[in-house]
């Protein structure tokens, strides 16, 4: 039994998260934390990051920063509200690719500041802190690593004989995942390490949550940073994940497509099995699934709770369910 229980709520909550789904989940974690006087740190996937037009773009960090900062575009799910596209149109006029990736004018300012700071030698952790000084997300955002790790996708492009590896953004935005795909590669992972800030956050946490983000291309790259799994296993805090599938389907995004590519069944329990139990070389102590998706797993405690992130309050209820499950594990 760990220190957590209903009447001793967590003080330091750490959340591993991807982009759009992770941002929604973090709105609920922040609401829960406000109600219970806890601090929240998000360890964010940077596998989607790309350099386009000479600018370093960090989609998941930006989705979370804009969403928690109140400046994101609800329909699109990414980029800023009230966006204009003048620079992007000019780039198209020059035939300056990639023309399939739309950059908003406001968003470009974020990438200019980030690129300038990276070129000046600041770590991505420091750059993110500087950008958040403006957006005030009231959650500490940490890239999973300061080292460059990019998700590339092995697929066979139209008119191609052989498979090739393309950047995740090209697979997701240009091809909409609609090409024969056989695998994902985290380019740069071997040389990467979690930042000191990430390792300290995991050590000091008294609750670690995995957001209902894509387990393959959002949570996967975070766990794929050498040393991250060990840091989770060595943490004193219980690790509770929340399924991103409800009755076998993701609410948004393409977790089902990604799971199919890696040969994992598209069920909440199969995803938990894929992430693994902490006692068996995995990371999970507990796993929250939607009503009806429950069952028993070796060494992972499963609980059911409504998982529709309809608003921050509903998501905060999911966090309460995760805290209760945490109080029962280990």
The contact set with ligand FO1 (CB under 6 A) reads 19-20, 48, 57, 59, 62-63, 78-79, 101-103, 107, 169, 172-173
DSSP labels, 123-148: -HHHHHHHHHHHH--SSEEEESBSS-
Decide whether 62 or 285 has the Cβ nearer to ligand FO1: 62
Decide whether 19 or 282 has the Cβ nearer to ligand FO1: 19
What's the length of the chain? 330
Please give the Cα distance from 330 to 317 (Å, whole number).
22
Decide whether 12 or 63 has the Cβ nearer to ligand FO1: 63
Distance of alpha carbon 222 from the chain centroid? 8
DSSP labels, 107-127: HHHHHHHHHHHHHTT--HHHH
Distance of alpha carbon 259 from the chain centroid? 16
Closest distance of CB 190 from ligand FO1, Å: 22
Closest distance of CB 3 from ligand FO1, Å: 35
CB 141 within 8 A of CB 201: no
Closest distance of CB 50 from ligand FO1, Å: 8
Decide whether 150 or 285 has the Cβ nearer to ligand FO1: 150
Closest distance of CB 134 from ligand FO1, Å: 16
Please give the Cα distance from 290 to 269 (Å, whole number).
11
Closest distance of CB 166 from ligand FO1, Å: 13
Decide whether 103 or 223 has the Cβ nearer to ligand FO1: 103
Closest distance of CB 244 from ligand FO1, Å: 12
Strand pairing category for 301-304 and 286-289: parallel
Provide the edge-to-edge strand list for the sheet that holds 207-210. 140-143, 39-44, 12-17, 207-210, 239-242, 286-289, 301-304
Decide whether 55 or 264 has the Cβ nearer to ligand FO1: 55
Distance of alpha carbon 320 from the chain centroid? 20
Please give the Cα distance from 96 to 325 (Å, whole number).
51
Decide whether 61 or 289 has the Cβ nearer to ligand FO1: 61
Closest distance of CB 63 from ligand FO1, Å: 6
Distance of alpha carbon 286 from the chain centroid? 18
β-strand partners of 51: 56
CB 210 within 8 A of CB 178: no
The continuous run of DSSP H or E covering 44 comes out as strand 39-44
Closest distance of CB 44 from ligand FO1, Å: 11
Decide whether 105 or 304 has the Cβ nearer to ligand FO1: 105
Please give the Cα distance from 265 to 260 (Å, whole number).
7
């Amino acid at each position: 039994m760990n220190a957590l229980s209903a009447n001793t709520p967590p003080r330091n909550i750490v959340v591993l998260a991807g982009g759009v789904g992770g941002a929604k989940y973090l709105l609920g974690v922040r609401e829960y934390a406000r109600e219970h006087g806890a601090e929240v740190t998000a360890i964010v996937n940077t596998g989607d990051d790309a350099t386009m037009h000479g600018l370093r773009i960090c989609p998941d960090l930006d989705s979370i920063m804009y969403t928690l900062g109140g400046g994101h575009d609800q329909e699109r799910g990414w980029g800023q509200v009230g966006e204009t596209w003048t620079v992007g149109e000019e780039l198209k006029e020059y035939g300056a690719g990639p023309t399939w990736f739309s950059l908003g004018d406001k968003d470009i300012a974020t990438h200019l500041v980030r690129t300038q700071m990276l070129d000046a030698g600041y770590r991505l952790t420091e750059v993110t802190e500087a950008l958040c000084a403006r957006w005030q997300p009231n959650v500490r955002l940490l890239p999973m690593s300061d080292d460059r790790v990019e998700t590339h996708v092995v697929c066979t492009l139209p008119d191609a004989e052989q498979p090739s590896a393309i950047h995740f953004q090209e697979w997701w935005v240009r091809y909409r995942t609609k090409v024969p795909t056989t695998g994902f590669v985290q380019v740069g992972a071997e040389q990467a390490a979690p930042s000191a800030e990430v390792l300290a956050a995991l050590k000091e946490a008294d609750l670690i949550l995995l957001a209902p983000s894509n387990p393959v291309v959002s949570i996967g790259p975070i766990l794929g940073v050498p040393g991250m799994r060990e840091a989770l296993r060595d943490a004193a805090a219980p690790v509770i994940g929340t399924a991103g599938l409800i009755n076998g389907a993701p609410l948004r995004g393409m977790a089902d497509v990604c799971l199919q590519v890696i040969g994992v069944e598209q069920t909440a329990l199969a995803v938990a099995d894929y992430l693994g139990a902490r006692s068996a070389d995995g990371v999970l102590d507990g796993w929250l699934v939607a009503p009806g998706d429950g069952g028993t797993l070796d060494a992972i405690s499963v609980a059911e709770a409504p998982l529709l992130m309809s608003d921050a309050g509903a998501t905060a209820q999911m966090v309460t369910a995760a805290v209760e499950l945490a109080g029962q594990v280990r």
